[in-house]
């Protein structure tokens, strides 16, 4: 049996109001005129609807009481023209509001992306942000997200304005009641139905919310049953690329995924589980609600008829007042539903608000980075230990190493031995848990973060190129030096491919996300572009994490033979599995299980026959000899 899903914790009214206030404040910051325009639209639409009712009542009253046709005709035409003009204005207004909502929803999304783009990298990876992103995704309400807040907010406003309108128009009706009549009885009945109706709405709402929540706050167990999670796996997150899903096809994984989606979701177990939820089981309350609605309608008409019987109420007024009362009844229950929906919709935005309010945890430093024309930088790791956020295991333990500019340092070791982690710490994507990293004797935390980041050019294993122009990718900027872009591309071995791009050349778009003319590139070509981008940055440190893994042997040899030239007087750190490609480095650091176990030149390390390096080298040598 499925484990019970958690219900949303009940919040005090004050907290709901606070949430609504926070969301409204954010909406105002996105577009100041949005709320005022909505107020105008709601006022106008209410005026038009009551205007129509008043006009009809007037016409009926005049017909019943004898009338001059020409005069009445003129007034009707005038009234209809005014109402239709008002309708047109409302149409234009609503269209503007719709477009504004769309634009605001886009800016809202952009705000989140901008926040994620600018926050500490270590936070992106943290369990807290993971949970927050998950919540935001679930609470996005199948994409309706902030739109639900717009709709519900407008719904509440509209209902309130309509109730006020109905009261104002309905006031004269009460003058028809005599003191001694039984009009109050109808009034009591009307109020009773009204409150019961509202009560029922509240009851149903909380039941429905429980049911609703089941789909929106799934337990880990339930996630297996929800199609979007499983298909995510198939396509690699929401933003699927056509390249993803290859493995699904090759290994025919469709069946196993289907097992966890349709078969389970539509299976008896899930159905039985779902139907027992109170939200679904409360079908009986629909019956009561219908009865209450009919009773309240009878109440509304009864009151008006009573009033009419007491005085001489014209037929048009009778219909108008009955409509007002019925409207009041409907809108009163609606204001409750829309209000509750609004509080839920606002609550569903709290995840995003929390994300937007997150502040960076990493100390950003204040010390200006010394810009040395001689590039004399000396780096030292002193007893550094580090665990990834949320992880129990040390990725790097008591790590110490020194190197200075101009050196070629190679880092080798088995998968998972902490090589990439060391690079990430050096670039301050994370801060060590223990120990310190020094540049020219100063703890790197003290340097201004933005200036410090300029010291490094990195090609990560999982580098990303963007669906932008080739030149913009290389310069990582909208402004670029064409000559330099071409030179870097040539140094990275992309020259030949560039020629094939034809006229557009470095202005060609990568991938087809924004243009059908975008170019597709192979894994090796992409790696060359990533290397070209690292060269373009002209940073004193070049860090290459498995830079040639996707390159063919010829391209690899070309890169390495060029590399001394490319790296020039810069410090280069290479991470590589292929020990043969590290031989040219001045110093080789050997990692094993998060620790630095050996350092030295290739010859020195080989001499230590029982060492990790020798065993890795021998294993690879055998492999190459066999090949
Ligand atoms: P290498 O580069 O030597 O292959 P890494 O430095 O990438 O190894 O990883 C070292 C250890 O840290 C591994 O056990 C890996 O599973 C773990 N690790 C790497 N990245 C993360 C992460 N983002 N969160 C948690 N653990 C991680």
Ligand 1 near 122 CB (within 6 A): no
Give the SS3 label for residue 610: coil
Of the residues 124, 384, 388, which should be mutated to test ligand 1's pocket, given the most ligand atoms within 8 Å of the CB? 388
For 419, phi then psi, to 5°, come to -65, -50
SS3 content of the chain, % helix, strand, coil (to 5): 60, 10, 25
Distance from residue 68's CA to the centre of ligand 1 (Å): 90
Query: Of 76-90, 123-137, 281-295, 600-614, which gets the smallest average pLDDT?
Result: 281-295
Q: How confident is the model at residue 245 (pLDDT cuts 50, 70, 90)?
A: low
Euclidean distance between CA atoms 421 and 401, whole angstroms: 14
Model pTM score: 0.75
pLDDT, tens digit (0-9, with 9 covering 90-100), for 8-40: 566 788 888 999 999 989 888 999 999 999 999
Q: What is the mean pLDDT of residues 156-177?
A: 86
Ligand 1 near 419 CB (within 6 A): yes
Distance from residue 420's CA to the centre of ligand 1 (Å): 7
Euclidean distance between CA atoms 584 and 560, whole angstroms: 9
Ligand 1 near 417 CB (within 6 A): yes
Alpha helices in 463-506 (DSSP H): 470-475, 482-491, 495-500
CB 213 within 8 A of CB 204: no
Give the SS3 label for residue 411: strand
CB 275 within 8 A of CB 207: no
Please report where in the chains the tokens 């009214």 appear, as a residue: 13
Ligand 1 near 418 CB (within 6 A): yes
Write down the mean pLDDT value for the chain.
Answer: 81
Which residue in 322, 326, 330 sits closest to 289, CA to CA? 330
Measured in whole angstroms, the distance separating CA 197 from the mean position of its chain's CA atoms is 38
Ligand 1 near 102 CB (within 6 A): no
Q: HEC string of 495-520?
A: HHHHHHCHHHHHHCEECCCCCCCCEC
Q: What is the mean pLDDT of residues 178-196?
A: 68
Of the residues 386, 387, 420, which should be mutated to test ligand 1's pocket, given the most ligand atoms within 8 Å of the CB? 420
Distance from residue 419's CA to the centre of ligand 1 (Å): 8
Ligand 1 near 415 CB (within 6 A): yes
Euclidean distance between CA atoms 308 and 315, whole angstroms: 9
For atom 17 of ligand 1, the residue with the nearest CA is: 395
Tell me which range, 81-90, 259-268, 575-584, is most confidently predicted by mean pLDDT. Answer: 81-90
Closest ligand 1 atom to 421 CA: 6
Alpha helices in 31-181 (DSSP H): 34-64, 69-118, 121-124, 127-139, 145-170
pLDDT, tens digit (0-9, with 9 covering 90-100), for 40-75: 999 999 999 999 999 999 999 888 877 778 888 899
pLDDT, tens digit (0-9, with 9 covering 90-100), for 339-384: 888 888 888 888 889 999 988 888 888 888 877 666 678 899 999 9
Query: Is the pLDDT higher at 238 or at 309?
Result: 309
């Amino acid at each position: 049996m499925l484990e019970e899903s958690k219900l949303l914790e009940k919040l005090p009214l004050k907290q709901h109001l606070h949430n609504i206030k926070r969301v409204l404040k954010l909406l105002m910051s996105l577009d100041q005129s949005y709320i005022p325009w909505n107020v105008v639209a709601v006022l106008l639409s209410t005026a038009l609807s009551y205007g129509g009712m008043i006009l009809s009542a007037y016409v009926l009253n005049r017909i019943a009481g004898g009338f001059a046709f020409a005069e009445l005709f003129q007034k009707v035409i005038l009234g209809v023209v005014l109402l239709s003009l008002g309708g047109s204005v409302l149409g234009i207004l609503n269209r503007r509001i719709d477009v504004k909502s769309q634009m605001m929803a886009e800016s809202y999304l952009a705000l989140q992306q901008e926040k994620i783009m600018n926050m500490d990298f270590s936070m992106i990876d943290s369990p807290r942000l993971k949970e927050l992103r998950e919540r935001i995704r679930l609470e996005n309400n199948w994409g309706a997200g902030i739109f639900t807040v717009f709709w519900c907010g407008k719904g509440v406003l509209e209902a309130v304005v309509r109730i006020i309108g109905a009261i104002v128009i309905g006031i004269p009706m009460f003058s028809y009641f005599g003191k001694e009549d039984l009009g109050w009885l109808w009034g009591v009945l009307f109020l009773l139905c009204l409150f019961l109706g509202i009560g029922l709405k509240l009851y149903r709402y909380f039941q429905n919310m429980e049911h609703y929540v089941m789909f929106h706050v799934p337990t880990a167990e339930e996630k297996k049953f929800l199609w979007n999670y499983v298909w995510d796996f198939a396509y690699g997150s929401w933003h699927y690329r056509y390249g993803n899903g290859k493995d699904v096809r090759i290994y025919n994984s469709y069946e196993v995924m289907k097992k966890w989606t349709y078969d389970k979701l539509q299976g008896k177990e899930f159905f039985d589980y779902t139907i027992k939820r109170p939200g679904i089981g409360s079908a009986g309350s629909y019956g009561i609600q219908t009865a209450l609605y009919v009773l309240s309608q009878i109440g509304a008409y009864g009151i008006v008829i009573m009033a009419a019987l007491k005085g001489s109420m014209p037929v048009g007024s009778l219909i108008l007042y009955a409509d007002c009362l019925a409207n009041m009844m409907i809108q009163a229950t609606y204001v409750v539903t829309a209000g509750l929906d609004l509080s839920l919709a606002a609550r569903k935005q709290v995840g995003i608000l929390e994300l937007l309010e997150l502040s960076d945890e990493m100390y950003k430093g204040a010390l200006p980075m010394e810009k040395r024309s001689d590039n004399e930088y000396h780096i030292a790791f002193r007893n550094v230990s580090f665990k990834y956020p949320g992880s129990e295991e040390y990725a790097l333990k008591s790590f110490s190493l020194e190197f200075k500019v101009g050196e070629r340092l190679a880092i080798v070791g088995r998968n998972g031995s902490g090589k990439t982690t060391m690079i990430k710490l050096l670039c301050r994507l994370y801060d060590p848990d223990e120990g310190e990293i020094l540049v020219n004797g100063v703890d790197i935390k003290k340097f201004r973060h933005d200036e410090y980041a300029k010291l490094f050019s990195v090609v990560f294993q999982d580098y990303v190129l963007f669906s932008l122009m080739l030149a913009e990718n290389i310069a990582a900027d909208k402004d670029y030096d064409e000559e330099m872009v071409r030179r870097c591309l040539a140094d990275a071995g992309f020259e030949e491919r560039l020629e094939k791009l034809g006229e557009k050349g470095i202005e060609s778009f990568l991938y087809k996300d924004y243009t059908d003319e975008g170019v597709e590139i192979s894994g090796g070509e992409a790696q060359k572009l990533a290397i070209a981008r690292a060269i373009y940055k002209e940073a004193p440190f070049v860090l290459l994490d498995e830079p040639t893994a996707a390159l063919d042997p010829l391209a690899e040899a070309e890169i390495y033979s060029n590399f001394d030239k490319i790296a020039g007087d810069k410090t280069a750190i290479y991470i590589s599995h292929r020990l043969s490609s590290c031989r040219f480095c001045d110093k080789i650091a050997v990692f094993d299980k998060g620790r630095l176990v050996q350092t030295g030149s290739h010859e020195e390390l080989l001499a230590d026959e029982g060492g990790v390096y020798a065993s890795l080298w021998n294993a690879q040598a055998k492999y190459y000899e066999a090949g």
